[in-house]
Amino acid sequence: MHTDNKPQKNDRMDGGGAIVAWLKNAGVKNVFSVSGGPINAVYRACANQGLALIHARHEAAACFMAEAQSRVTGKAGAAVVTLGPGVTNAVTPSLVATLAGTPIIIVGAKAGTKSDERGAGMAYDVLPIMKNVTKWAARCTDPNRLQEYLDIAWRKMWAGRPGPVFLEVPSDILSTPLASEAVGTCPPLPGTPGVSASDADAAIKLLGNSKKPLLILGDELFWHRSERLVETIEKHNLAFATMRLARGIVSELHPNWVGPAYIPCNATLKQALADADCVVVLGHHFEFDLEFGDSVGAGARIIQVCSDQELLHRNKRADIAVNASPAAFIELLAGLPASKADGKWTAGLVDAWNKERAAQLGQGDAAGIHPIAAVDAVSEAAPDNTIYVTSHGNIDFWADARLRIAAPGRYLRAGQSGALGAEVPYGAGASFADPKAPVVVFVGDGGVGVHISELDTAE
């Protein structure tokens, strides 16, 4: 960490102090940043209040680290950036977090209010830009309303499908003493809807009579978990595949796992979708990794459960669309008698996936080390608590199919964005989030060069 200001105590908390106090109340353990004069008040407050400040080399990397922290811990990440170009450097990470559904709060500086419309150094109206790549973006120009704006940011960040939020605060507001020392705690997380009686009855009948069910575990299960998920899978003998953030929600060493829910690297899943008589999608929608639902057989019935109503029926119309928390739906299934699922169906899918995976080993040649061999060698040597980061480049196609993730928050991939450059910052952020866990980053020659200097930050 670097700051030009030594810790000092003020008679009254200033705007920067209020932000830091609020972040601590929100459970934030690390703030990622690149220093700039307009955010000195936040730096002083971090020193005064004991909130760890991790200084990156670039604002994009700082925001990627904040996102990685969220993906590992299941809690919100936080970044603070200076004005103008400091904020625009945060655009790509914001887009990645939006597409991946990751909750992070980015506080950005602005030139002092007395400099408005005067062409201050580095000043630019970045708010319209950030509104396009976040769930919510706003500007606070009253120090005594900071708490209110932060609370709004918190609610927006977690409502429905999580995502990033941005709050811009002028430098003079950050350094202005507040009228009151009181900084409240964060509001409780927004509640997720339960399963209606009509939806419950319809889903129970459909799944209860299914002989060839297939379960897709989606991103939302990472944020809203159920302790009874494994029990439900085993009770109903369900074959399951896992989307990105859901990888490790149930150990992928489980005998009912049929691979990642990523059709380009899982032909077994593509065939399973074509043959299943009931496809249950929990906390997700039919996005491009699932070929927008085009692989689902004409005779299959679809149950989709998602707390974000906008994602229901997206790309593929569901027969039963349940606007509820997937965790609530799992609790419902756990309490039902065992379904009529055909055990041979589930066993056949598992066998097909294992054979497909084994057949990949024959793709190498004498010309050099095949990516599969490299991924396998690393994963076999790595401890069970290892966190894996994969690029969205060519190496990702191999790593996705080979890795078996045994616990939540152990697998980080650049969401739906395909952005290169997140990999090394993800690794650093994951290491700060869980210092005792080894972190392995699979990245190609293009992605590694974007933020390679952040290896120094990780030290």
Give yes or no: residues 203 and 149 share one domain. no
Asked which of 307, 338, 359 is the last residue of a domain, the reply is: 359
Domain range holding 414? 364-458
Closest C-alpha among 20, 37, 200, 180 to residue 110:
37
Give yes or no: residues 163 and 205 share one domain. no
If you average pLDDT over residues 234-246, what whole number do you get? 93
- Is residue 192 domain-resident? no
What's the confidence (pLDDT) of residue 1? 39
CATH number at residue 322: 3.40.50.1220
- Is residue 432 domain-resident? yes
Give yes or no: residues 84 and 134 share one domain. yes
CATH number at residue 83: 3.40.50.970
Give yes or no: residues 374 and 435 share one domain. yes
What's the confidence (pLDDT) of residue 201? 86
Give yes or no: residues 350 and 397 share one domain. no
β-bridge partners, 301: 278
- Is residue 237 domain-resident? yes
Neighbours of 410 (CB within 10 A): 22
pLDDT surpassing 50 at residue 8: no
Give yes or no: residues 354 and 428 share one domain. no
Give yes or no: residues 353 and 381 share one domain. no
- C-alpha distances (whole Å) from 244 to each of 302, 364, 419 are 21, 27, 15
Half-sphere exposure of 346 (CA within 13 A, CB side): 23
What's the confidence (pLDDT) of residue 391? 84
Whole-angstrom Cα distance, residue 83 to residue 77? 20
Q: pLDDT tens-digit profile of 169-210?
A: 998 999 988 877 666 677 777 677 788 888 888 888 888 889
Asked which of 359, 380, 411 is the last residue of a domain, the reply is: 359
What's the confidence (pLDDT) of residue 378? 93
Give yes or no: residues 222 and 348 share one domain. yes
Q: pLDDT tens-digit profile of 186-197?
A: 777 767 778 888
- Is residue 2 domain-resident? no
- C-alpha distances (whole Å) from 213 to each of 124, 248, 258, 291, 326 are 54, 21, 13, 19, 17
Give yes or no: residues 107 and 42 share one domain. yes
Lowest mean pLDDT among 167-181, 301-315, 429-443: 167-181
Q: pLDDT tens-digit profile of 136-159?
A: 999 999 988 899 999 999 999 998
Give yes or no: residues 382 and 233 share one domain. no
β-bridge partners, 38: none
